[in-house]
Structure 1
Amino acid sequence: MPGLSFDNFQRNSFLAAKGYPVPKATSTGTTIVGCRFDGGVVIAADTRATEGDIVADKNCEKLHRISPSIWCAGAGTAADCEFVTQLMSSTLELHALSTGRAPRVVTCLTLLKQHLFKYQGHIGAYLIVAGVDATGPRLFSIHAHGSTDVGYYLSLGSGSMAAMAVLETNWKETLTKDEAMTLCASAIEAGIWNDLGSGSNVDMCVMEVDKPAVLYRNYRTPNVRATKEKSYLFAKGTTSVLSTKIRPIVKTVPYDIFEEAVVKDDDKMEVDS
């Protein structure tokens, strides 16, 4: 059936009347993307961190290292993304030491979704996991409730719609590394310009088969602060002084000053005052 469907409006109104409030929309305030190419995978993110309507950090890091060949981009609650990825990094390192083999991307995906599913979305981590292993380049996304997706290009965060428009328009089956990097950077910039929760710079990480991962910090800086047209420092005397009044300090409570010194001799100790 063409057009939008509002069938759930009556259902939500009925549940609200019974005491079940309608859940509010949550903005993660981020744009993260991932894209596969011939022989590798690219992930990218913006660098704006927000606290409600306030920009808390203009150049934060949203790309997290899990293993030498596995990285992830995080959207949602900053602390949750940071500590969840640190936990997975430690877990995968122990797994690699136990098995004697390099960890696979799908292993990281399984551990992450099992961990997030236990908390039923209360850990606000929305992740794009990417890397290369024995099976080749892999790209996955994980939502806070534990659901996962797999694809050749992915996007999450409040700016994901703007980024996805760029990805769907310019993606093709045979991408080179440079084309994938340009595509991901352009998708992040679309989120920066069209989403208030995204902004500042573009960070990027490139993972290729049989090569170490390369992190490009501030790969693009589209929001460089411009020089002010004029100085806003006013010369002394610009604002006139209308009146001056000097109030002397008056002692309202009488007080005396005492000084004590302890003098120590060989045979006695006395206090002089």
Structure 2
Amino acid sequence: ATSTGTTIVGLIYKDGICLGADTRATEGPIVADKNCEKIHYIAPNIYCCGAGTAADTEFTTNLISSQIELHSLSTGRKPRVVTAMTLLKQMLYKYQGHVGAALVLGGFDATGPQLYTVYPHGSTDKLPYVTMGSGSLAAMSIFESKWKPNMNREEAINLVQEAIEAGIFNDLGSGSNVDVCVITKDDTQYLRNHARPNERGIKEQSYRFPRGTTAILKSSIEKLVTVTEGDSMDMSL
């Protein structure tokens, strides 16, 4: 199955939530997708980063997004992040970890900025900064040394970018670009490919060589014997 490998992060700053993700998806040792989207829409004020099995993260977030939309229509209110978190954890717990979705859920609702991690077995954490995925330890080392309360928007985006880049450069399952999503009380901004730390450079030289560049040490030309169908081959010695 295609895995998102992944470094995903989230933090709370002064005016809201900042989420981040890399864009590499892998199939074993193969890079299956160099620029996939790991930040999934749940509601206008709620987004969710996914690590683990790519199909599981995508379908799980789509399912909860539709349930949240129906909930909003029936209540006539803006959805709360804790509602999405509860729906996610109840669904994942039901499948006992067989749905491989490790999530970072963030949003801004009536109670302010909210940030959660949701593990594949259904457990959750509510923290001011979180990381998930195979590059989570590299990203967490950046957060633990540089995060501070009441950061401004620019500081938050820069720290999220640095944390994702730590995952990209220190974890083989993470790579390519940095996607960022900023959620505030008034609006949501999804910065697709906010940073491209792995741009393909220009080759130093052409690798098309003219005939004769490499010396021919020995040549041997032999005539091939073809046997047309129906003819018997003479096997006598």
TM-score by length of 2: 0.89
**Residue aligning to 1:222:** 197
Letter in 2 for 1:65: Y
Measured against aligned partners, the alpha-carbon deviations of 1:193-223 in whole angstroms (never above 9, x if no partner) come to 1111111111000001122x11111111111
- Letter aligned with residue 180 of structure 2: M
Q: What stretches of structure 1 of length at least 5 have no aligned partner?
A: 1-26, 254-273
Q: CA deviation at 1:252?
A: 4.6
Structure 2 residue aligned with 1:134: 110
The structure 2 residue matched to 1:100, chosen from 56, 63, 76, is: 76
Correspondence for 1:119: 95
SS of aligned partner of 2:201: coil
Deviation at 1:57, TM superposition (A): 1.3
- Give the match for residue 194 of structure 1: 170
Q: 2:4–2:24: 8 Å Cα contact kept in structure 1?
A: no
Letter of the 1:171 counterpart: W
2:119 to 143, 162, 166: 143
Match of 1:165 in 2: 141
After TM superposition, give the deviation of residue 250 of structure 1 in Å.
Answer: 7.8
Q: Deviations over 1:204-259 (max 9, x none)?
A: 00001122x11111111111111112111222455669456676988656xxxxxx
Question: Among the aligned pairs, what percent are the same residue?
Answer: 58
1:15-164 alignment runs, 5 A limit: 29-164=5-140
Deviations 1:126-170 (A, max 9, x none): 000001111111111100000000011000111111111100111
Q: Write the distance in 2 (CA, Å) between the matches of 1:138 and 1:227.
A: 43
What is the Cα deviation at residue 34 of structure 1?
A: 0.1
Amino acid at match of 2:63: L
Please report how far the alpha carbon of residue 79 of structure 1 lies from its aligned counterpart in structure 2 after TM superposition: 0.5
Q: Is residue 231 of structure 1 aligned with residue 206 of structure 2?
A: yes
Question: Higher Cα Rg: structure 1 or 2?
Answer: 1
Deviation at residue 53 of structure 1 after TM alignment: 1.3
Instruction: Spell out, residue by residue over 1:17-65, the C-alpha distance to the aligned partner (whole angstroms, 9 max, x if none).
Output: xxxxxxxxxx972111001111210000111111111111111111101
Alignment size in residue pairs: 227
User: Counterpart in 2 of 1:10?
Assistant: none
d(CA) in 2 for partners of 1:198 and 1:252? Answer: 55
What is the one-letter code of the residue matched to 1:33?
V
Residue type matched to 2:142 in 1?
Answer: V
2 CA distance for matches of 1:220 and 1:28?
19
Counterparts in 2 of 1:236 and 1:111: CA distance versus 1, 3 Å: same
CA-atom RMSD in angstroms: 2.0
* Pair 1:178-2:154 in alignment: yes
Aligned partners of 1:184 and 1:252: how far apart in 2? Answer: 69
Q: Note the residue ranges of structure 2 that are not aligned, 5 or more in a row.
A: 231-237
3-state DSSP class of the match of 2:173?
A: coil
* 1:269 aligned partner: none
Q: TM-score, structure 1 length as denominator?
A: 0.78
